[in-house]
Structure 1
Amino acid sequence: MYEIFDFSPWTWGEVKRQLTSGGIVAEVVDTRQGVIIKDTKDASNWLRIPNDPSRSAIAVPLLGRQRVLGVLTLTHTQPGYFLPDNLNILQAIASQSAVAIENAQLYAVERKRVNELVALNQLTREISQFSRSTELQERLPMLIQQRLGYPAVALWQLDGDDLKLRQIAGEKQAPRQSLMAIGPRQAVTTRQPVQLSGPLDERRNSRAGNGTPPQQSVVAVPIFHDTETRSVISIHSKRSNAFQESDRVVLETLAMQIEAAAERIRLFESVEQEKQRMDAVLNAAADAILLVDAEGRLQLVNFAGDRLFTDVQSIVGGALPEEWGYDSLNALIREAQDADGILDTEINWPDQRVFSALTTPIEGGGLVIVLHDVTHFKDLERVKNEFIATASHDLKNPIHAVLGYSDLLAKAGPLNEMQKDFVNHLKRASNQMYELVLNLLELARTDLDTTLQTHPHGLQALLEEITQEFQSQAEAKEHTLTLGAVDDDLLVDIDLARIRQVLQNLVGNAIKYTPQGGKIAVFAEASDKMVWIRVRDNGLGIPEDALSRIFDKFYRVDADDRLDIQGNGLGLAIVKAIVEQHGGEIKVESVFGEGSTFSFSLPLVSEPVSV
């Protein structure tokens, strides 16, 4: 048709655009049915093309398996030329043509896939041979263009928040750089592959006149390093619909290969500078860093570590002498070698300094030991605790006076109901402050590591005494408080007053946090050289997210079911400190709404002692 007829002033491109956007072609695509036009002059669905001699037409769809592949149209200069028989024949031809077209498309797709796999395999081998980052960046776009035949291939790099074009192959076949950057910028923002096609414009303002944005196609895939987007690989064309879904998959596969190659190259390049960097870091570190092998021999000491030893050169390469005052360091090395994982503790140095020691096992059985001087902080902590202890002690007398005078107010004369209420509020607040002061004193005493007055005590008698002490409180809330069977001969080496305080706190909490009519049990279980004492209740329980903080100072569970229960959040912190001072361990198991079990261990007396 284009070679025979002149459609001036329309161009052939305009004719094709009009035919595919409306008229009989659009109707056949929408209805998927054939159409006969007996006279084009009377047909509203016939496109009015300049100088068109057609008077009758017939059109049938090329039906594929899932979509309309196209429309087959015949025209004639004579009106009424086409009959229903012609429509049937043309539909049969169209059906066979659609099968042939789909088969050709499938063949083309499979052939393209095979070619892409071959090209990807070759590209993977070539990329794996690069040993420098600059070489990879400069040659990569050209290699991809040559192997896969894309019109233009570009590599972009992020410099801060600025995306810059690092290298391009096929620049003449690509849109201008500002248009090319649209897809890669989206890939950086979304951290996902981007595929765009059609009229694209980088301008935010409307174009002057009736101009339309230029057509282009782009596929852009981000390349990551340590989960961060570092660069983007993209392919470009000045035509729309130039790339298919398979091209995006190919580019994603390439991006993963590039990530692996870039990581390998980075590791390769870092090897040459690793020793210098390590030496610089070690010698610039303010903390002492020691490297000990599996035999406990000192292999490496940084500059800060040198100053800890009187004759470091004679020590490196051998074990630390026991008689030189390094007993605590030798003990730390032995403990760390037996430990499974990182060990964080403190050691004392021969010059009376205190160091925080962090040991990390390394491959081959060795250790890295980092020593941080915390002597100054220890001194500050001691001064703080002494101040708290002194201040808390000095507060006791004024609080006693407030409590005493509040008791005397009622005896000074009759009080009305409002005055009685004020006095009761005053007494409750004073009692709470007095409890807080006592807890602060106890906490300061444990932080100051005051010496325990330990003696062997029978565990059964202690637990019986505690349960008897709290029976009246338990009965007041209709609780059942029971003591499990305890062996008569179990002796524990304890400071009696301090462990009594632990048990009073745990049993008191169980009564306080268990609703009316609950069950509380105290029992003990001997295990090896320790005995575990457990206090179990079926009370409110502790939320799972609070279990890790339940022994922290001033921490209280924030839940609606315990808002009216008084407390200052110091009791369990004191309990933990006292138990640990005795060389024991404390832990809690709880289900929110079902109850809790607090367990702590104490050392058993190994030999029978007369008490």
Structure 2
Amino acid sequence: MIEHTDEDYGKWQQQPQQILAKTAVSLPESLKLEDIFNTTVTDLRNILQCDRVIIFQFAPDWSGKVVVESVGSEWTAILSTQIHDPCLGESYIEPFKQGLFTSQSDIYHAGIDTCHREFLATFQVRANLVIPILKGQELWGLLIAHQCAKPREWQPSEIELMQQVATQAGIAIQQADLLDRLQTELRERQQAEIALQQLNTELEQRVIERTAELTEVNHSLQQYINQVEDLYNNSPCGYHSLDAAGTIIMINDTELKWLGYTRDEIVHKKYVDLMTLESKNIFYQNFPVFKKQGWIENLEFQILTKNGKLIWINLNATAIYDEAGNFMMSRSSVFDITARKRTEEAFRQYERIVFSTRDGIALMNINYIYQIANQGYLTWCNKSESEVIGNSVRNILGAELFDNFIQPRLDKCLAGETIQYEKWFDSPNLVPQFLSVTYTPFRDAGENIVGVIVSLRDLTKLKQAEQMLELQAVITRNMAEGICLVRADNAVIVYANPKFEQMFGYDFGELNGQHVSILNYATESVSPEDVNQAIRSAVLHRGEFSYEVHNVKKDGTPFWCSATCSVFNHSDYGDVLVAVHQDITVAKYLEEVRQEAEAALLQKSRKEHLLWRITQGIRQSLDLNAVLNTAVTEIRQTLQTDRTAIYRFNPDWSGDFVVESVGEDWVKLIGSELQKNCVDTYLQETHGGRFRNHEKLVINNIYSADLQPCHIELVEQFQAKSYAVFPIFLREKLWGLLAIYQNRAPRQWQSWEIELLEQIATQLSIAIQQSKLYRQLQVELQERKQAEATIREAERRWRSLLDNVQLIVVGLDIEGNINYVNPFFLKLTGYTHPEVLGKNWFEKFLPSSFQESIKVVFAEVLDHNYHAYYQNSILTKSGEERFIAWNNTMLQDSEGNIIGTISMGEDITERQKLDHIKNEFIGIVSHELRTPLAGIQMSLGLIKSGVYDKKPEKSRRMIEIAFLDTNRLVNLVNDILDLERLESGRAIVEKTVCKAADLMQQAVESIQAIATQQRISLIVTPTDAEVWVTGDAIVQTLTNLLSNAIKFSPADSTIHLSAENQTDFVLFQVRDRGRGIPADKLELIFGRFQQVDASDSREKGGTGLGLAICRSIVERHGGKIWAESILGEGSTFCFTLPLAAVE
């Protein structure tokens, strides 16, 4: 952020006004937007002291490019860069259209989208200030300031300045568009006049027949011509047209005013006769080129006014040719550049003064690089011009002097101060000199500081000239403005610079000695002396005073100035007032034009908005009451009336107010006794009175409108002082009235308001007719809807049944191609509608083994409606076969023609698999039950027969066999019941946190006796793992696995049992040293009644269900179980269970 002193801040405050005034003044002088914008961004960057200022113009897709730029040399230039910010969407565009701005002090802490921050970073932006530029209501572009070096807090005054400059830029754009339209309209008018002359003879008869119509057209055309002529004559630039001989045939008022002639005096005069001899030579040199190429730009020359005064003009001309290509005439636009020429001459004079003075004068830029140095300065430096210009002050004067003394003062000057000091200098001239040194800020045309003017005066002999040197510095600093020195004691002018004399229309030196009041504009109540006295008093009281004053030129022309006046002590005159003047007449005029244009645009906008809202209401609603309420509300709010109402006639021509919009301070007509008491019998008696003839009634003041007393009394009950009434027709019949009332005071109804209300009454007529037609249609549609509702409901129920039934539904045409499938079919087969519809059923969806037989069935269904029920396989998209049981029926159209079939099928694939599993299970269980039962039957039979009565050992052996087979039978039944309970979900699973070591210990204890009997060692690996399980079920699983390991392990071998923590589960392992399991049986053994070897069930015992039970238990706990084995080395059974912490 730039820091300023109080004094600097005061000067800084003047800069926004200067840049705004400069921008405004530049509008009539140059309508080239690029020139105006380039000056504007340069001035803005110097005022704000920021790193970059750009103007960005939007394209229709909200991309765009940088059209002008002012950027510091150390930062990347982005002029003409095509930019598209993907984050610039509705969240930014709409607020910009509303005139809002964005200010970000640091893009890394502003809370903006990452994509937008990265986008800004590509242009080295750290802080930015973005102001929309609006061309009327259109978002034209953006005025953007960038701070690249570091974050920056944008001040309210800086934001306000940017907004004002953006407003001026919008005006400049509109002015440029206005000029383009003006030139286009002028060309169109000329072409129209030529065309009208050619068609005059042919149109005479038609003119007679259509006089009434053309009268209205001519009136509109005349209004258009008047508007064009008004723009033409009041343009800030001059316009004239010359014929082929160079004779003036048309000229606007602006140029007439410059020349001092009347139109009659100058029309038919040769334009070249107004030129000086030198200007004629310039004209004749350029005229042949002009006729050949058809245009000429920026031709400058002098012409004489009627009173003999010379003025400079800048001319742009266009040639007009006939159809044969012959030069017919020319049209020219001219600008009075006399003021600019005088400024240029004054500048040249000052330049001669600067370079001829014996004082040392130099100009350096903001980087301390010499730009200009006069001979006096070069002599003091003891350097040549080539050694100084382009070199730095530090190099010329030495590092120690520059760093310690000169640079701090130059920096203050660049901040806006005028620095003056006196000092003995020993170098670079090596001769001691006592110099008076002045550093003056050098400002560009926009009052932006772009360098420092250094002036040196040798006071060794001329110290007494110190005050004159200071005055010279003031004059030099402000020489681009009008400056006047006035004695404070008697108000006599002692000096006026050329710019000041030119501004007021006086010759060189003519103002010296005159009383300053001759420059002030007088009114009937205030004299010039009064104005001057007020200004002098304010300046002397404050020391410095800025003001706007109405001045008068020598020829009596009044004009406005912006002035700053301060007190200065002069060695000869004592206190003098130094007044700096700027002509702001054009800015004042443009402000008035802008205000008038804004008022016209606002009026047009209000009118269009109201019509649009009412039209939208009519389009969006067929509810007549809603449309009428919307209309009266919008009218009252837009036209700012106190009451807007709609009155409807009854069949007997009585009537009532049906809708109204009324302010809170006024009585309501609807729903009150007032409406019943205020009966206008005139309308009933005359069947609508004048309104039947499409007449309106507009009363600006009821007391001055020559109304009957009874009528005034009636209106007074409505509290109205002014009103307007417009008829509303339904075709040719008067339907009602649109009435608006002003209650607070009489009102002068404007023509545009009356025209608007007539248009609204017409729109309301359309709405009423539309509502009537809608009511008729409603009756017809209601009857049709009732008839269609029954059909739709039947169709809905049928389609809902087909779409939601969990059966396959397939419709085929007579060729066997699919024309309908329901969602369940698509879900089952994995196809989509496009993949199915139109495809042949037999070729795409049936296995080849079924195709021919099903074609026969299909033909029989079509011929005889036979084969109502059958079963066959179909193919899914993945190639899987599904077995379907079908019910079929033949389809016929309304005339009885067979059009295809509809089939409903049930997927019985899983049912068939279950039947197969059930049959297999019954067979296995029957076998497993029959074997022990046969053993029991045989043992008990032998005992019963008495064969072993005398052989107790044999008898005891038979009883043991029966006991073992009984245990086997009980175990088998228990395993079957456990497995069924687990797989049916009826087993109760209550999980708790269990220590794996405890579970393994319980399993080992339950099986230890068997292991000891088989001489097998059980080794448990210690563990601290914990699991979330049903303890008894896991102990059963471990017991089954240990039992299996014992059965298939040789004597004197070892079985290892362990549990290890993994990432999110615990891994249990039971490892034996048995015979091993073949790889193809590792998965099979977990099935029901499965053994590696069929003889194992007889030799080893077991039901063949143990591992199936283990799998079911583990999977119900969310784990997995598997086996790993190497034949001849042993097997490892593994399963996982969830960690307690994970659960």
Measured against the shorter chain, the TM-score band is 0.3 to 0.5
Task: Please tell me whether Structure 1 or Structure 2 has the larger radius of gyration of its CA atoms.
Answer: 2
With normalisation by structure 2, the TM-score equals 0.20
